[in-house]
Amino acid sequence: MTSDHSNHSIVEQQVRQWLEQVVIGLNLCPFASQPYQAQQIRFSVSNSQTAEALLMELATELTLLATKPTREIETTLLITPKMLTAFDEYNQFLNHVDALLEQMNYQGVFQVASFHPDYQFAGTLPEEAENLTNRSPYPILHLIREASLERVLKHYPNPENIPDTNIKRVSNLTEQEKQTLFPYLFAPH
């Protein structure tokens, strides 16, 4: 049996690969490259197996992000390989995330972006390409500083076009490219 540390290393490596090849490689988030190259993205792999434990871990990560300067940690990816594997369960958990942000008085300070292997936008079918923009190897809660987001959006032309541009980008991928970039979607379960 492998240790948690070894498993954490594998999970983190897979998420790094997704970040490099998909998020940065396809330019799905035009703001990800700079903090990644500056090593300002924190990768936190959770051992949590209950909602309560994960909320405590999320609170700890939010507090850490609040106390560290952006030059040390710009953003955090809280990766949950041991729970929230069903997208409906993950989606419902986001209500608890919003409640925690409010409870900790972090509304307007942080926002949480969601990524999941089975991500599905409302009103879409599971196989629709646009869902690929938010599909990741594991369920991820991406903790974002709103001030940083506002700062970069001021200098980015037409940020409202990012979602449509991303949908076009992933829609134009060949089946081989999809299998290469999203191997976890094609692996037998």
pLDDT above 90 (res 96): yes
Q: How many helices (H) and strands (E) does the chain have?
A: 8, 4
Q: In this predicted structure, which of 4-8, 23-27, 75-79, 129-133 has the lowest mean pLDDT?
A: 4-8
Q: How confident is the model at residue 42 (pLDDT cuts 50, 70, 90)?
A: very high
Q: Considering Cα of 16, then 96, then 159, then 132, what sign does the dihedral take?
A: positive
Q: What is the pLDDT of residues 71-83, one digit of tens each?
A: 999 999 999 999 9
CA pair distance 5, 45, nearest whole angstrom: 10
Q: β-strand 41-45 against 110-115: which pairing, if any? A: unpaired
CA pair distance 189, 86, nearest whole angstrom: 13
Q: Considering Cα of 149, then 150, then 151, then 155, what sign does the dihedral take?
A: positive
Q: In this predicted structure, which of 49-53, 134-138, 159-163 has the lowest mean pLDDT?
A: 159-163
pLDDT above 90 (res 6): no
Say if pTM beats, i.e. exceeds, 0.85.
yes
CA pair distance 172, 170, nearest whole angstrom: 5
Q: Edge to edge, what strands does the sheet with 41-45 contain?
A: 41-45, 75-79, 140-145, 110-115
Which residue matches tokens 């994960």? 54
Q: Where are the domains of the chain?
A: 4-186
Output the average pLDDT for the chain. 93
Torsion angles phi and psi, residue 8, rounded to 5? -60, -40
What is the rounded average pLDDT of the residues 21-33? 92
For the record, the structure tokens of 106 come out as 């972090």
